[in-house]
């Protein structure tokens, strides 16, 4: 018994020394203090805006024609590319089909192509070139044919010589062959757009989106850091002990979605009532997506305003989605979108966003003494360290360790949020 206890003590001491070495060599954003990390000036960015608009009956007919022509050009060009490669082993692009499109417009059976704006058709060919570049680079799958019932989009180019009479922020926007659009201006952009994209989603709603160059001022500097632990019961848990909870948007609207989809399954596919019910299902899904997006924006903005340094854990979301027991709840959280919003907002407003190593034992490590437990099952939410007898909440303890790893436990990085020097007992 004495020999076994002595061996156990040697093993625990070695584990503490490994933990101390890991803290000393872990990834750090830089060797400056958190105050230096948050020193940023104003930045010039490309900011995107998206507004909903309500077309008139005449504009609706024109948009249906423009979207239909753009969809025909996309599908025809995609089929032509595939045929040229299969039969002649020849690689062709959007420029090659543009010449064919000009020839087709001169033929009688295809004279209807002149009714649409030439800019929209050319931009659709450029979009397909981009889709193929992403496919060959391994970033996307092979481009697919477009359907009328899916989300459709066209892009207009604004002539910068006449843009003053076509666009004024917060007042009006005029597009070729459509005229002035009735936009819901939820905010006033600063810059002037060069391209305007008109989108019709599956629920039949219309949106315009464009990008402007703007200058943003960084938020007031904050010399503190917070660690963020991501989960399902609470989407965000910070090292300060704050928990965001989980609204569970899909579960909230599950009954409405279930009823709408059952009604859709009982109708004959392709009938008028089937199309009407399909739009109702699409609106129900859009409501879930909008509530999730709104909540994530409010959550990420709150985190950005709280601290100058935000430390995140690196999760294998794709691997976690393979677990059918948690895949639905995990997909409803939107972790990838959460990280994406934190990344660009931190860059905009002068914050530092860092991530710890995926294999760091943040959950089963005591944030007070650094003792690493052998195992920590997911069902254990509260635990007490056997070495220092400190009671821990699993998520809060993990958030503290995440912050400690990103700052390296340096004494000069004392900050609100649990950054303390690590004391390792040999």
- Catalytic (active-site) positions: 229, 313, 395
Taking the C-alpha atoms of residue 128 and residue 134, their distance in angstroms, rounded to an integer, is 10
Taking the C-alpha atoms of residue 396 and residue 228, their distance in angstroms, rounded to an integer, is 9
Residue 194 · residue 213 · CB < 8 Å: no
Distance of CA 400 to the CA centre of its chain: 25
How many Cβ atoms sit within 10 Å of the Cβ of residue 83?
12
- Would you call 416 exposed, middle or buried from its count of C-beta atoms within 10 A (0-12, 13-18, 19+)? middle
Would you state the structure tokens that stand for residue 302, as one six-digit string? 């709150």
Would you state the structure tokens that stand for residue 178, as one six-digit string? 């459509």
What does each C-alpha distance from 422 to 49, 112, 160, 289 come to in angstroms? 46, 74, 59, 43
Helix axes 2-25, 394-407, angle to 10 degrees: 50
User: Diameter of the chain by CA atoms?
Assistant: 98
Q: Is 156 helix (H, G, I), strand (E, B) or coil?
A: strand
Rg of the chain on CA atoms, in Å? 28
CA-closest candidate to residue 38, choices 409, 402, 352: 352
Residue 266 · residue 273 · CB < 8 Å: no
Handedness of CA 315, 320, 325, 326 (dihedral sign): positive
Taking the C-alpha atoms of residue 149 and residue 235, their distance in angstroms, rounded to an integer, is 34
CA torsion 291→292→294→295, rounded to 10°? 110
Helix axes 272-306, 254-265, angle to 10 degrees: 160
Residue 70 · residue 124 · CB < 8 Å: yes
Residue 113 · residue 163 · CB < 8 Å: no
């Amino acid at each position: 018994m004495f020999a076994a206890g002595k061996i156990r003590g040697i093993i625990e001491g070695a584990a503490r020394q490994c933990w101390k070495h890991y803290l000393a060599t872990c990834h750090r954003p830089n060797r400056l203090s958190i105050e230096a990390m948050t020193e940023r000036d104003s930045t010039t960015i490309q900011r995107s805006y998206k507004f909903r608009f309500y077309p008139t009956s005449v504009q609706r007919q024109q948009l249906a024609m423009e979207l239909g022509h753009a969809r025909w050009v996309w599908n025809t060009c995609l089929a032509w590319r595939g045929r040229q490669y299969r039969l002649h082993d020849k690689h062709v692009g959007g420029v090659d089909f543009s010449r064919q499109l000009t020839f087709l417009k001169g033929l009688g059976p295809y004279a209807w192509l002149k009714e649409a704006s030439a800019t929209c058709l050319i931009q659709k060919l450029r979009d397909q070139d981009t889709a193929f570049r992403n496919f060959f680079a391994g970033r996307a799958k092979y481009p697919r044919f477009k359907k009328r019932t899916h989300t459709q989009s066209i892009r207009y180019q604004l002539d910068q010589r006449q843009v003053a009479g076509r666009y004024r922020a917060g007042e009006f926007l005029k597009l070729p062959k459509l005229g002035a659009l009735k936009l819901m201006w939820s905010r006033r952009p600063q810059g002037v757009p060069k391209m305007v994209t008109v989108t019709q989603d599956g629920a039949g709603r219309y949106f315009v989106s464009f990008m402007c160059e703007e200058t943003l001022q960084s938020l007031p500097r904050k010399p503190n850091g917070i660690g963020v632990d991501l989960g399902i019961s609470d989407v965000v848990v910070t090292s300060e002990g704050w928990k965001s909870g989980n609204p569970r948007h899909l579960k909230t609207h599950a009954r409405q979605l279930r009823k709408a989809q059952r009604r859709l399954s009982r109708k004959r596919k392709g009938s008028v009532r089937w199309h009407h019910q399909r739009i109702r299902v699409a609106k129900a899904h859009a409501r879930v997506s909008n509530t999730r997006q709104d909540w994530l924006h409010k959550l990420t903005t709150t985190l950005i305003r709280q601290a100058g340094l935000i430390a995140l854990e690196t999760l294998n979301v794709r691997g976690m989605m393979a677990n059918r027991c948690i895949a639905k709840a995990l997909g409803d959280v939107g972790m990838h979108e959460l990280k994406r919003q934190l990344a660009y907002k931190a860059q905009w407003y002068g914050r530092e966003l860092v991530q710890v190593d995926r294999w760091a034992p943040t959950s089963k490590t005591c944030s007070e003494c650094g003792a690493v437990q052998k195992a920590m099952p997911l069902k254990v939410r509260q635990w007490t360290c056997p070495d220092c007898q400190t009671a821990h909440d699993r998520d809060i303890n993990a958030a503290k360790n995440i912050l400690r790893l990103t700052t390296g436990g340096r004494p000069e990085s004392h900050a609100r949020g649990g950054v303390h020097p690590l004391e390792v007992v040999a």
